[in-house]
Amino acid sequence: MSAVLGISGGYHDAAAALVVDGVVVAALQEERLSRVKNDPSPPLRAARACLSIGGIAAPDRVVFYENPYARIERVLVSLLRGFPRTFRQFPRAIGAQLGSKLWILDDLAEGLGVPRAKVTFVAHHEAHAASAFYASPYPRAAVLTVDGVGEEAATAIWHGTEQGLREVAHVDYPCSLGLLYAAFTAYLGFAVNEGEYKVMGLAAWGSPRRREELAKVVQLSSDGGYELDLSYFAFHTDTELGFSSKLEALLGPRRPAERPWDLETAEDRAYADVAASLQALLEDALLGLARTARKRTEEECLCLAGGVALNAVANARIAREAGFSRVFVQPAAGDAGGALGAAILGAMKDGAPRPAPMRDAALGVAVDAGEANMLASALGFAVKRVDDRDAEVAGRLSRGEVIAFVDGRCEFGPRALGQRSILADPRAAATRERINRAVKRREPFRPFAPSALAGTELRWYDEPGDDMTRFMTTVRRAKDTTLGAVTHVDGTARLHTVDPESRFGALLSAVERESGIPVVLNTSLNGAGEPICATAADAVAFFAAHAVDALVVEDVVVTRRPS
């Protein structure tokens, strides 16, 4: 038996993944156990949890998701080339790179109790490519990896075949679409590596009327290439901001992070226009890259990975316009997925077969319903066990309740796919407003997703489900306003299609029997600034602190006692 543990971390969204004899046994982000959002720390908790799930005392190999020595060399060379403009960045960068990051492989060996010789690494974008291609159902595919930066590359095109992955082309730092989007995320007042999806949601509220100005910031070429005018950015010279004063001179002052959003004001609508212009620019750039990948590889299928591949709106446009018959994006496409790619590459190097295609993302720790029962009872909540959990939930949803829903093993990646979800009726727009305001406590422009029973989605959406809707990594256009709580202002929804044979599919069938539609509003089970819940304790704590009507953990139903 061969057990290979993949590890990502050091910058954001650290994770671990375990592959045993070619089977993906477990994958889990560190944040789910540490309860620190986007935790970058060496994922020792997640790694030990993966080993426990697999019944493995110690892995045969540990594979890190990038070459730490090449990364450090790139950072130091960049700092030296930029001196003296980079002088403010020197102390922090030198301390980080020559401290914990330089010794990450040794720290993993010590923390996991394995010999240092068993801890190796793969290249960052190769790990991304492997996480996309080897998790896909395609025997051959073009692969496009786009993120902030790895060792040197920020974008790469790969060709995946039965013989493995071969790099076709790449674009190096500092020309990075990921860092472009991050800089504008900061400009709009959101946290980098956390608020990018907020920018995508905000974009739908604006118009891309600032494209002419943004054409000065990023130049696109007809062959899929792109070039950033670095005078508008500061990620290579400053420790705090990703953009320079020149960008503010072009677009106006940055938005204060602390000010509440109000899209009824002209000022915030102007920021929404910036977001819409950025989104349009990103889509054009990615479409050009995808078409180049199609031309260079002559493949019919495309796999996407890297943090930028979590942009569901861009993914939908690529699927429509890039010339591929099928497109796949696995649910943990960002840095967390690098752990999965590293584990798969290490296992295949040891002679293991290619894993089976990923069919669901329930790869994390399982929930303990008995623990939920005990904790909720101790806190004075009303607790009962039910014989027909699905009928119980369906009935409550039909009465307008908002349900915290916990089932089985937690999902890998940032999407709630029916294991750690908040569920509600998808029809009334007022439900969206209630959950945003009273439950999630977040910006009012943020949308929610529909989870629909696969095979029924054409009743509400313009196109059938595909390889991406399984993991909620693309969007569909709604035919009408029937599902008002899960339709964004631009008429789209981040559709999740659910296998009728799955446990979540059984719940949706019960919902259909109760309400006539096999669809629910589905959003992640977490509060503002918190990771998605993993354990029963997390779920009970969430219920105690947030205004949901009931908590359902397997067959345990928790409600509040009448006052």
Active site residues: 12
Q: What angle do CA 231, 308, 41 make, to 5 degrees?
A: 95
For residue 204 the two structure tokens come to 């739908």
Other beta carbons within 10 Å of 287: 19
Peptide bond into 84 cis (omega under 30): yes
Cα–Cα nearest to 102, from 69, 128, 77: 69
From residue 219, alpha-carbon distances to 230, 251, 313, 394 in Å are 11, 17, 21, 51
Q: Which residues contact 15 (CB under 8 A, 6 or more apart)?
A: 7, 8, 9, 27, 28, 29, 30, 43, 46, 332, 335, 336, 337, 338, 339, 340, 412
User: E strand or H helix at 218, and its extent?
Assistant: strand 218-220
User: E strand or H helix at 141, and its extent?
Assistant: strand 141-146
Phi, psi of 496 (to 5 degrees): -120, 115
Q: Which residues contact 295 (CB under 8 A, 6 or more apart)?
A: none
Cα–Cα nearest to 180, from 225, 235, 246, 238: 235
Beta strand 362-366 with 550-553: parallel, antiparallel or unpaired?
A: unpaired
Q: What is the rounded distance in angstroms from the CA atom of residue 264 to the CA atom of residue 357?
A: 46
